[in-house]
Amino acid sequence: MKPQLFVPLVTYPDANSEAVAASTVALAQQLGGDLNAVVFNVDIPDVTNVLSRLLMDLPEMIRLAETRSRERGEGLLKAFVKAAEARKVTLSTDRKIGGVALLGELAAEYARYFDLSAIGWEANNPTSQQTAEAVVFGSGRPALLLPEEAKIGPLKRIAIAWDGSRVAARAVADAIPLLHQAESIHVLTVPDEKPLKEKQAGERLAHHLRRNGLAVQAAAIVAEDRPIAVTLQEHALGLKADLLVMGGYGHSRVRDFVLGGATRGVLEELRLPVLMSH
């Protein structure tokens, strides 16, 4: 069975760049899967206030914003069709419409029907970052976050951020198909960032994975005064890892969703492809 990859494409207020087409199509080719690209265009409620019509012509501004959203979406889909044809990847496309505040939620709901979400992440695009967060925490499926300029090749070297938590275990389980294709795997723990329930947690996971025939090493690394997200990503890059696997930690507090330090740091500054599960 071919894995089905889902790509949410945002168009408002900040649209994804067309670079996401090349990276996600390359990922689908590496995984031998089909790609399903869905554009989420904005639907802005009409404004009937007479004063707003006279002073600002808001209805016309809304029409222009919605038209621009659709145009951006069509441009993205054309880039996907071109990239998929070049790599002979099976591609399906769709278009959805939703309110400004609901686009991330719509993307998360749509992602539940696919094996893996591949999300383009861009440093100067808050909309892409918010979409990634919504899909990670709302879909119930693993999400692979791809930096804007990521060059996707074989995922041969994989690093795992491990603290023995439920979400970390979920991420490892979701990554099993990728781990079985890897040539080397490194389990990373950061004991000075927070107390671990088990001192040898990293080695214990490595032992379990070795019993499944995988080539795994465990290493305890030091955060020192750096943010945990920087520590993990820099160490993974130092190992020349093609992918970092980690749990997405967060919990609901009243109406806000409070993210863990490593999760928040990665979502704000992504340095390499990251498979995140919640």
Q: What local confidence, expressed as pLDDT, does residue 52 receive?
A: 54
Mean of per-residue pLDDT scores for the chain: 89
Query: Above 60 in pLDDT, residue 22?
Result: yes
pLDDT class for 61, splitting at 50, 70, 90?
confident
Domains and CATH numbers, the chain: 4-147 (3.40.50.620), 157-277 (3.40.50.620)
What is the mean pLDDT of the segment spanning 100-117?
94
pLDDT of residue 228: 87
Q: Identify which has the larger pLDDT, 47 or 29.
A: 29
The pLDDT score that the predictor gives to residue 252 is 46
Asked if 38 and 23 count as a contact pair (C-beta separation under 8 A), the reply is no
**Would you place residue 25 in the very low, low, confident or very high pLDDT band (cuts 50, 70, 90)?**
very high
d(CA 210, CA 101) in angstroms, rounded, equals 45
What pLDDT was estimated at residue 55? 52
Over residues 183-221, the pLDDT tens digits come to: 999 999 998 777 777 778 999 999 999 999 999 999 999
List 222's β-bridge partners, or say none: none
Say whether pLDDT at 20 is over 70.
yes
- pLDDT surpasses 50 at 253: no
DSSP strand pairing (91-98 vs 34-42): parallel
Burial class (CB in 10 A: 0-12, 13-18, 19+), 101: exposed
Q: Tell me the C-alpha distance between 272 and 148, whole Å.
A: 10
Alpha helices in 56-165 (DSSP H): 58-87, 103-111, 126-138
Q: What is the pLDDT of residue 238?
A: 96
Res. 139: pLDDT tops 70: yes
Q: Band of the pLDDT at 255, cuts 50, 70, 90?
A: very low
51 pLDDT higher than 70: no
pLDDT category of residue 74 using cuts at 50, 70 and 90: very high
Residue 243 pLDDT > 60: yes
Closest to 226 measured CA to CA, from 262, 181, 199: 262
